[in-house]
Amino acid sequence: MTLHDDVYALKPRPGTPFVVDGELLTVTLVFSLTAAAFLLIIPGIRGKLRLFWMCRIFLSLFIGVVMVAVQFSSSWASALVRANTTYKSFSSTFVNAEVGLHVGLSGINITLKGNPVVQLNETINYNEAFYWRNNFEEDYAEALEKGLPTPILYIAEKFTHKSPCGFYSQYRYSGRYASATMWTAFCCWLVTNILLSMPVLLYAGCLMVASGAFMFFSLTAFATAHNLSLCTFTVDTASFQTSLSTSFWLALATGVLSTVTGVLVVVLDYVAPGKLRETFGVSAHNDNDDIAPLGVVYHNNNFLMSPLPAGTPDFAATEITQEMAKHCI
């Protein structure tokens, strides 16, 4: 065997550390392009409504991107601890590193970063993902075959079926319910944006409140399972537990924002419906006002009393008069 860049030819190469989730990056790019497209449209809006439309569009896009982004985020609950820990199994060598656990709706990420990064002639910078949708036991077995560092294997073992801590069942099913209710909130958000362009702003406000409510249901599903955890993680002499993290609090703030906005729209629809419709650029005029009630027919008396052209036969004049009378009944 030959050594090239500190890696043996027949030895598995170290994995590239996780940089950014591809699905999360895709969501961010899609909403960024949508926002850029609306920025090109806004200059065509005249008058004082330009600022309102800009705020409305970016507020709506912010709520939507948070609903989708947190689905793929791994920072609903997290923990980070620095410790002197064994690096490999069956080895007495210790390294100084930061060990992190990041829990999402679809799985967990376990990080290990050396301090400094290069120790024992190796680059210690790992970020390993384990997903609920896959067979977690197979992912763990694959991690054992790779020979991942001991702290990563220790934490991953806590989430297996055989672990008495029960993390697997708690986080998997709570993540499933939280994800389902969050997607429901996203569907309500889509319908809300459609209704905001119609003269039915009351229903749009109600759906916006419902969207915030479903976000609260999602957060409750995850937080309830998180509070049931009975085990702590111990890395040599350091112990830690996960706490609610960025994605959870961001989703909570977005749910409050959606609920407050929806309530405001509903209240304004009762207090000042004309001003509200004018602000949203929808017609406050009810199209049904132009529809005549059943049984009422409007006709032109001058047209009915006008003489027929000269030379019209008597039988033809009689038929025309009868036909006109039928439509005026």
CB 245 within 8 A of CB 251: no
Question: How far is CA 201 from its chain centroid?
Answer: 23
Q: What is the pLDDT along the chain (329 residues), one digit of tens a residue?
A: 334 344 433 344 444 444 456 677 777 787 778 777 777 777 776 666 777 778 888 888 899 999 998 998 888 999 888 888 888 877 778 888 899 999 999 889 999 988 888 888 888 888 888 888 767 888 888 888 888 888 899 888 888 888 888 888 888 888 899 999 999 999 999 999 898 888 888 999 999 999 999 999 999 999 888 777 667 888 877 788 888 889 999 999 999 999 999 999 999 989 888 888 877 777 655 444 444 455 555 555 555 455 555 555 554 445 555 555 555 44
Residue with tokens 């049904």: 288
- Residue 263: CB atoms within 10 Å: 15
Strands 3-4 and 7-8: antiparallel
CB 218 within 8 A of CB 209: no
Residues 175-179: contacts with CB within 8 Å, 24+ apart? 175/104, 175/105, 175/106, 175/132, 175/222, 176/105, 176/132, 177/218, 177/221, 178/105, 178/218, 178/219, 178/221, 178/222, 179/71, 179/105, 179/106, 179/218
Tokens of 207: 């759906």
Question: How far is CA 139 from its chain centroid?
Answer: 27
Q: What pLDDT is attached to residue 243?
A: 87
Q: What pLDDT is attached to residue 116?
A: 86
Total residue length of the chain: 329
* Residue 187, SS3 per DSSP: helix
Q: What pLDDT is attached to residue 323?
A: 58
| Calpha distance 54→62 (Å, rounded) | 12
Q: What pLDDT is attached to residue 311?
A: 55
Q: What is the DSSP letter of 11?
A: S
| Calpha distance 280→278 (Å, rounded) | 6
Amino acid at 163: S
**C-alpha closest to that of 156 among 248, 75, 233, 224:** 233
Instruction: Give backbone dihedrals phi and psi of 231, rounded to 5 degrees, phi first.
Output: -100, 155
Amino acid at 156: A
Q: What pLDDT is attached to residue 215?
A: 95
Radius of gyration of the chain (CA): 33
Q: What pLDDT is attached to residue 165?
A: 80
Q: What pLDDT is attached to residue 251?
A: 94
